[in-house]
A and B are shown apart, each in its own frame.
Chain A
Amino acid sequence: MLAAAFDALTLVLDPSRLVFMLLGISVGLVVGILPGLGGVVGMSLLLPFVYGMDPHAATAMLIGMAAVIATADTFPSILIGVPGSAGSQATILDGYPMAQQGKAGRALSAAFSASLIGGLVGALVLFAILPIARPLVLAFQSPHLFMLTVLGLCVVGLLAGKYPFRGILATLLGIMIAMLGSAPSTVTFRFVGDSVYLMDGIPLAILAMGLFAVPEIIDLLADNRAVSKVKEVSSGWKDGVRDTFRNRWLVLRSAALGVAVGAIPGLGGSVVDWLSYGQAVQSAKDKSGFGKGDVRGVIAPESSNNAKEGGSLIPTMLFGIPGSGTTAVLLGGLILLGIQPGPSMLTSDLSITLTIVWTLALANVVGAFACFLLSRPIARLSTIPASKFAPFLLIVMLVGAYQNTNQWGDLIAFIVIGMLGWLLKTYDWPRAPVLIGFVLAPSIERYLTISASRYGWSWLADPMVIVIGVLAVGVVVAGVRAKRKGLGET
């Protein structure tokens, strides 16, 4: 494994690939800095360009982008009190008051150093888990993988959004959208009518951009999000780094929590920072400063939201179950590159897996240092109102959309799905499960077909299938009850 790891490092450090990782990191920094845009938008922007690329370079670019968003999204959270992405909401509670007190530099440096350590812990855990997971993953057969996928979808559906049934319905809608086009194992085109464009189905990049980017841009513009003046970020940098090392156990604890939460499909993203913030408050002796500008309230969420990236890659790569919208698009990207997530990630595609681990670690280091070095211009960038960057982003997205099949259908599908995404967002329907359902639909159908053709119906009596099935039902029942309690329903 170590020899393979060094081989992978050589691949990543090859200049022809390194440049793509740096490109991904640059995109990730910009996407993270611009409020409202997150990993899915960034992934979707890059996805159309991975066609035909060297798999190692392409994965380095995608992972490089995803890894640094959690670092860069700190700028808007601390400087203007607007979350850069879903995982940096809790940072606002103490980061923004610190900025208002003139301690923006200290808050940012504490956040970047905590992000760096958190990201490295995430990559390390991912690497450490590979040899342990290898025999476990290889023991799974098609029926088990089918049931695991169903379980993953149930968990994702339940945990995404406010209402449990809407989450599950959203995953099913995603699966249904994936049914458009040719059916596997038969020569049948489903629900396409006379449309030649739909015969190949809706491209993933278009679905992702339409669902996430279009509604976000329209809402950012509609809200006329005014951005406040740049705060002073020139002082307190050393203090922030010292704060991180003074609270090293909090950093490590938060990182461990981030990895664990990230590994649970559907949980990651928007809750990891709050959970981490909660444990920071609970474990603190003096709680009086929290919410008023306590640096521990910045360190904990920032460490965990970078570490969660490593955690979320565990189910994505080893079981083919993406834990979030970002990893769902990544999964689609891997499939586009001819890489099938699952047991093969530990055998024939081990070098890709290790490339991902190295990229995750390197991108966190490069991203954190870039944020340190470029903090002043980046701080100004984070204050750009949506009305100034929206036209550029929109054109880039349209260009990206059109590269999928070079047909007008791409542009029409982009806008139709964009409007669907806007409606889902308006009515509090979670959108990430739609994407995850869409990505997992071919796997579910394939696992089911293989199970049925190879084992008949006897696979339903397999003990592991029964255990996972019972677990799925238990998760649904418990999740629905918990959410109903949370909503105050009877």
Chain B
Amino acid sequence: MSQRLREELLFMAVIVGLMIAALYMSAGYPFNARLMPQVVAIAVLVLLSVEGVLTVRRSRASRASGDAEAGGEHIGDTGNEPVWGAKFRRSAPYMAWLAALYLGIYLIGLMASAAIFTAAFCRLVGKMSWLATLIGTALLMAALFGLTEAFNMRWPVGYFFDPFR
């Protein structure tokens, strides 16, 4: 079984688990509330079992024909390298940036985090000049303050402090 197939089946298994949980949880609801989720959950389980079989067949057929692209293995992946792994490795740094932004919002609020995140990202990832970074960040902050005033918007405040509160 290829790594790609294992990953796809694992993804489907997670959906199966969620649908079984939905069936279990909805059993206690009144008829009108449980009808739709139960019908949908059962339909998902039935269709997913068909799709699971088709996915295995597709994977076998593509391996037999040696057609990596038809089997879903993306161009650029080497051999049996997992798609998720290859893609995740490329995406992980940017997910980490996103996680850092969330941590910043949690700690010091959105406004301050937005300023720091934007400036840092523009400089370190975008390789923008200091001037362009400062102008871009200043414009973004001005837009945020403008929106705050115009629409009386609220932002998440930090757990410890929020310099813009």
Contacts and interface: CB of A to CB of B under 8 A. Distances in A.
A4 interface: no
Chain B at the A interface: mostly helix, strand, loop or mixed? helix
Q: Could you say which interface size class chain B belongs to?
A: 35 or more
Interface string B116-154: 011001100111100000001000100010010001011
A223 B47 contact: no
Nearest to A412: B102
Mostly helix, strand, loop or mixed at chain A's interface?
helix
A184 B31 CA distance: 12
Contacts of B154: 402, 406
Given A390-B121, A408-B156, A411-B156, A175 B40 contact: yes
Contacts of B151: 49
A403 interface: yes
A396 to B, nearest CB: 8
Interface in A177-208: 179, 183-186, 188, 190-191
B72 interface: yes
A473 B144 CA distance: 50
B1 interface: no
A75 interface: no
Interface string A1-43: 0000000000000000000000000000000000000000000
A273 B37 CA distance: 37
A375 B126 CA distance: 24
Interface string A70-113: 00000000000000000000000000000000000000000000
B32 A186 contact: yes
A370 interface: no
B122 A426 contact: no
B83 A392 contact: no
A63 interface: no
A391 B122 contact: yes
Contact of B155 (A163, A183, A402): A402
Nearest to A398: B110
A448 B33 CA distance: 12
A165 interface: yes
A340 interface: no
Given A172-B43, A399-B110, A402-B156, A423 B94 contact: no
B108 interface: no
Given A169-B51, A190-B26, A399 B144 contact: yes
Given A49-B151, A223-B90, A399-B144, A179 B37 contact: yes
Contacts of A445: 36
Interface in A375-402: 385, 387-388, 390-392, 394-395, 398-399, 402
B32 A183 contact: yes
Given A422-B91, A426-B84, A448-B35, 16 more contacts: A165-B47, A165-B50, A165-B54, A172-B40, A172-B47, A190-B26, A191-B22, A218-B95, A223-B90, A390-B121, A390-B126, A398-B101, A399-B147, A408-B156, A444-B36, A448-B36
Interface of A: 49, 163, 165-166, 168-169, 172-173, 175-176, 179, 183-186, 188, 190-191, 217-219, 221-223, 385, 387-388, 390-392, 394-395, 398-399, 402-403, 406, 408, 411, 415, 422-423, 426-428, 441, 444-445, 448-449, 487-489
7 contacts: A165-B50, A188-B33, A222-B91, A391-B125, A399-B153, A411-B105, A415-B102
